[in-house]
Structure 1
Amino acid sequence: MARRFNNLDAALRYLRPPASGADGIIPDAPLGTPLRKYQDWKAGKVDIDYPRSASSNPGTFERIGIKPFALPAASPIEYVTVISARAQGQYALFGLSVAELGIEIPDADDFIAKGYRPAKASCRNITGTTAVTATSKLTGVPYKAKSDVGYSFPFGRTAGNPTYSEQKAAIIAAVAAAAGTKSVSFTPEKF
């Protein structure tokens, strides 16, 4: 579970009487409280949907080639993966390029690895200047948020950045140098 729910999970544990032990049943939180809404969601009693706006749908997917970090630096082998058509044209918004991300046009001899997921850079561009109040669907508690748009870019090993940490640092530097308010987070590759 995400770290942002640690405080709510701790609050649920504190509802349990000390005499019942670590495996004791947690009683229901009081009705109408944010903790009860979260408890009902966690127990599967409530289904919460987060529908995507039409502008955030990925559209079609384009095949690309990536050199995985798990392979030796001298290895010419590329793995085939995909990028959404929506994200494909947005590199420059974050100061990135196809070459910097290690994205190549796939060749006929590129390897299609079952279960392989490339490393991804999830970039966000904060477009709003003032925070608006929104309400959490999980707890019903209001919070402040600014308008933003995000894109996920798969990335791989390049000649200049043969390791994951070097490539990650190069992407962070490019995003930090881009105009406007930007952020980036990473998901490592999986085999």
Structure 2
Amino acid sequence: MAKRFNNLDAALKYLRPTSSGEDGVVPDAPAGTPLKKYQDWKAGKVDIDYPRSASSNPGKFEKIGIKPFALPAASTVEYVTTISARAQGQYALFGLGTAALGIEAPDSDDIVAVGYKPAKASCRNITGTTATSVTSKLTGIPYKTKADTAYIFPFGRITANATYSEQKAAILALVTAAAGTKSVSFIPEKF
């Protein structure tokens, strides 16, 4: 689960009496609290829906080829994965390109591996200047956010950056240098 929920998971853990042990039943959090809302969601008692605006729908997915980080640096083997048509046209917004991300056109000899998930860069372009208050559907706690658009770009190994950490650092440098207010976070490869 995401790091942002660590404090809520810890709070639920500390509700459990010490006499019940680690496998003991966690009692209900106090009614009306953000912890109770989170506990209900985590237990599957509440279904939270986050509808997408039409402009954020991924659209069609395009096949691409990338070199996984799990293979040796000298390997030229590429794996087939996908990128959304919506994200595909937005590389330049973040100072990126297919070469920087290690994206190639798929070849007939590229491997289609079941369960393989490429490393991904989740890029955010903050377009708002004033933060607006939004209430979390998960906890009911208000937080501030600015208008933005976000895109997810798969990336792979390139000759200049043969390791995941090198490629991550290179992408971070490019996104940081791009005009405007940008941010990037990374999702590691699952092989």
TM-score for both structures, normalised by structure 1: 0.93
Question: By how many angstroms is 1:27 displaced?
Answer: 2.3
Partner residue, 2:103: 103
Q: Which one-letter code corresponds to 1:142 in the other structure?
A: P
Whole-angstrom distance in 2 between the partners of 1:70 and 1:22: 36
Q: How far has the Cα of 1:102 moved from its partner?
A: 0.8
Post-superposition shift, 1:33?
1.7
- The residue number in structure 2 matching 1:44 is 44
**1:147 and 2:147 aligned:** yes
Residue 56 (structure 2) aligns with: 56
How far the C-alpha of 1:186 sits from its partner, in A, is: 1.1
Tell me the equivalent position of 1:135: 135
Q: How far 1:23 moved relative to its partner?
A: 3.3
Instruction: Give the Cα separation in 2 of the matches to 1:62 and 1:153.
Output: 12
Summarize deviations over 1:81-104 as a string: whole Å, max 9, x none: 111000001000000011111111
Of all paired residues, the percent bearing the same amino acid is: 79
Rounded to whole Å, the distance in 2 between the matches of 1:74 and 1:181 is: 36
Which residue in 1 is equivalent to 2:5?
A: 5
Change (3 A) 1:180 1:23: same
Alpha-carbon deviations, 1:137-167, whole Å to 9, x = none?
1111111111111111111111221221111
Q: Which runs of 5+ in 1 are unaligned?
A: none
Relative distance call for 1:19 and 1:181 in structure 2 (3 A) is same
What is the correspondence of 1:1-191 to structure 2 with a 5 Å cutoff? 1-191=1-191
Deviations 1:97-126 (A, max 9, x none): 111111111112222122211111111111
Distance 1:115 1:12, change over 3 A: closer
Distance change (3 Å), C-alpha of 1:25 and 1:69:
closer
Query: Per-residue deviation at 1:72?
Result: 2.2
Amino acid at match of 1:84: S
Q: Secondary structure at the match of 1:65?
A: strand
Q: Work out the CA distance in 1 between the residues paired with 2:116 and 2:62.
A: 16
Q: Which runs of 5+ in 2 are unaligned?
A: none
Q: Which moved more, 1:20-29 or 1:119-128?
A: 20-29
Is the alpha carbon distance of 1:68 and 1:138 closer, same or farther for their aligned partners in structure 2, counting shifts above 3 Å? same
Please report how far the alpha carbon of residue 47 of structure 1 lies from its aligned counterpart in structure 2 after TM superposition.
0.9
- Rounded to whole Å, the distance in 2 between the matches of 1:20 and 1:68 is 45
TM-score, structure 2 normalization: 0.93
Q: Give 1:12 shift.
A: 2.3
Supply the AA of the counterpart residue of 2:22: A
